Amino acid sequence: MRVGLLGLQGAFLDHIPHLKRCGVEPVIVRDAQALSTIDRLIIPGGESTVMSKFLQEFGMLRPLGDRVSAGLPVWGVCAGAILLSQQVNGSPGVLAALPISLTRNAYGRQIASDTRPIDIALLDLVAYPAVFIRAPRIDRVGEGVVVHAVRDRDPVFIQKDHIMASTFHPELNPDDAFHRYFISL
């Protein structure tokens, strides 16, 4: 299995130890050719506007959208969730692959970043220390979207078929449960 890490910008390197512990050698994806060789893709946290710009400049936006539409399992983490979202701050999303609407930096600026305990029954995790860094808030979930975890009442870990998104950063915890689950999709 070839798990890709979108390596244009952001915290993609933090996923590598998790994937290796899961027995997977990750592939850093920086062009359309590498994108064509993977079986699934993690879009990491980072700056969604910068990632979007690089996806355009490197000719990857359409190939990525085509692969996701064709069934490529993809996991968007924070900024990755923003890129996958159908609507962002009231405007059309970049990939628009996930029928959700979200608001960027909804919980505040960098200084408001925090760790919150959340329960994730799907992964048998209780009081999991979810790290939120300038996190987006999912305001609406569309048909077929399953909410796996919430922060207060806000969805923070969702999935529709082969696409999953988390508004927090599981790669910053030592637990490999999220990566194992993603690999199993």
The residues assigned a catalytic role are: 78, 169, 171
C-alpha pair distances (Å), 131 with each of 47, 71, 147, 167 = 16, 29, 18, 9
CA 122 to chain CA centroid, Å, is 17
User: Can you state the percent helix, strand and coil of the chain, rounding each to 5?
Assistant: 30, 35, 35
Residue identified by tokens 């979007």 is 52
- Closest of 71, 92, 69, 94 to residue 84, by C-alpha: 94
φ, ψ at 52 (rounded to 5°): -60, -45
Strand 163-166 relative to strand 154-160: parallel, antiparallel, unpaired? Answer: antiparallel
